[in-house]
Amino acid sequence: MKNDGSSPLLLGIESSCDDTSAAVVARDALRSNVVSSQRVHAGFGGVVPELASRAHQRLIVPVVEAALEEAGVTRADLDAVAVTYGPGLAGSLLVGLSFAKAFAFGLGVPLVGVNHLEGHIYSVFIEPPAPPFPYLCLVVSGGHTELVLVEEGFRHTRLGRTRDDAAGEAFDKVAKLLGLGYPGGPEIDRLAATGDPAFRTFPRTRLPGFDFSFSGIKTSVLYYLNKFSEEERAALLTNRLPDLAAAFQQAVVDMLIDPLRRAVRETGARHVAVVGGVSANTALRAAAETLGREEGFGLYMPPLAYCMDNAAMIAVTGRFKLEAGLTSPLTLTAEPGLALR
């Protein structure tokens, strides 16, 4: 090992979507986590892949340097470089991956490729208390909604997934219908805090097994808004926006919590993690806590700073993989459609 402290010391890099992030982690603790959320997409109502890739190119060097500086280490102290190689946007993944490969090669240290979903799944290990294995993990982000049984040794069994939109995608699309900016999740969360969820009961989609579906709720909100004349709609969006946000949010939370409850009962899970961007949602966190009390399981959710995409979760997952001897060749390629294994 290169550093003489609590080695190994890992640099983690994340660039799968529109956040450029770098983090340094040691065995005992996270040393730094720098996230630069790209502002270039705000006016487009979503992420523009070409702009994201260019912004990553601009940001990757300063972000990595900031992470090293904040951690109080130099590149020579690093023992390995962990990086997201999928799933995500091809052009975005390539920037982080190419940088990580060159960095690892130049330093003569191992490269550790990390699946972005694994990053979210192990984000509950960034700060204690960490769950014991096995645990049931609900991954709710802008690109994914999956229910996964996580066992020791990187064994993942998918119990359910969304058949169409991801939960975060539903938040973002409905936010757009409500005239809010991107990403819409945090905006809806903020508005819903003062709204009445009973304002309207949007229909909940319930599928057999533990699968999810969120395209119906988006359409329900659209049809509801289209019932009104333009003036009425404008008045509704001016006067009842918090109520609409709260009613929609409650529907999404119910559609996440219901399959989770059934999965907990069926698997007898004693420990449950809720991770990913949507796990920052106030109502979802509260509902997961209530469910935990009702069903008697231990609940683990990352602190808000580690719900959305970040390199800390990639570095922590990379540390587990390194400890298990799971390093990657320098020929590792970006896999935009990478599934959880």
Binding site for ligand KG4 (CB under 6 A): 17, 141-143, 168, 171-172, 183-186, 189, 276-278, 280-281, 308-309
Exposure string for 194-220, b = 16+ CB within 10 A, e = fewer: ebebebbebeebeeeebbbbbebbbeb
* Residue carrying the six token digits 């996580």: 150
The one-character DSSP state at 40 is T
Based on CB atoms, which residue is closest to ligand KG4, 284 or 291? 284
CB of 134 to ligand KG4, least distance (A): 23
Return the range that interacts with Zn ion (CB under 5 A); candidates 31-39, 134-142, 281-289, 310-318.
Answer: 134-142
Residue 325: how many CA atoms within 13 Å on its side-chain side? 0
Which of 123, 141, 162, 249 is the binder for Zn ion (CB under 5 A)? 141
User: Which residue, among 66, 129, 128, 61, has the nearest Cα to 98 in the 3D structure?
Assistant: 61
CB under 5 to 8 A by kind: which of ligand KG4, Zn ion, none does 186 bind? ligand KG4
Radius of gyration of the chain (CA): 20
Residue pair 252/217 in contact by the 8 Å Cβ criterion: yes
232 three-state secondary structure: helix
Based on CB atoms, which residue is closest to Zn ion, 221 or 316? 316
329 prior amide bond cis, ω within 30? no
CB under 5 to 8 A by kind: which of Zn ion, ligand KG4, none does 212 bind? none
* Residue carrying the six token digits 């796990």: 279
For the chain, count helices (H), then strands (E): 10, 10
CB under 5 to 8 A by kind: which of ligand KG4, Zn ion, none does 96 bind? none
Return the range that interacts with Zn ion (CB under 5 A); candidates 99-107, 130-138, 160-168, 307-315.
Answer: 307-315
Based on CB atoms, which residue is closest to ligand KG4, 20 or 281? 281
Residues facing residue 274 across a β-bridge: 138
CB of 94 to Zn ion, least distance (A): 17
Residue 181, Cα to own-chain centre: how many angstroms? 19
CB of 90 to ligand KG4, least distance (A): 15
Could you say whether residue 317 binds Zn ion (CB under 5 A)? no
Residue pair 167/185 in contact by the 8 Å Cβ criterion: no
Based on CB atoms, which residue is closest to Zn ion, 247 or 280? 280
For Cα atoms 184, 253, 216, give the angle at the middle one, nearest 5 degrees: 75
Q: Locate 78 and state its tokens.
A: 């690093």
CB of 142 to ligand KG4, least distance (A): 3
CB under 5 to 8 A by kind: which of Zn ion, ligand KG4, none does 86 bind? none
CB under 5 to 8 A by kind: which of Zn ion, ligand KG4, none does 113 bind? none
Based on CB atoms, which residue is closest to Zn ion, 305 or 330? 305
Exposure string for 1-10, b = 16+ CB within 10 A, e = fewer: eeeeeeebbb
Which of 211, 309, 318, 334 is the binder for Zn ion (CB under 5 A)? 309
The one-character DSSP state at 16 is S
**C-alpha–C-alpha distance, residues 114 and 21, integer Å:** 14
- Read off φ and ψ for residue 192, nearest 5 degrees: -65, -25
Based on CB atoms, which residue is closest to ligand KG4, 109 or 178? 178
CB of 140 to Zn ion, least distance (A): 10
Based on CB atoms, which residue is closest to Zn ion, 96 or 197? 96
Return the range that interacts with Zn ion (CB under 5 A); candidates 22-30, 137-145, 160-168, 213-221.
Answer: 137-145
* Residue carrying the six token digits 């309207």: 200
Return the range that interacts with Zn ion (CB under 5 A); candidates 20-28, 54-62, 246-254, 305-313.
Answer: 305-313
CB of 202 to Zn ion, least distance (A): 26
Based on CB atoms, which residue is closest to Zn ion, 187 or 309? 309
**C-alpha–C-alpha distance, residues 105 and 120, integer Å:** 26
Q: Using CB under 5 A as the criterion, which residues of the chain lie in contact with Zn ion when the complex forms? A: 141, 309
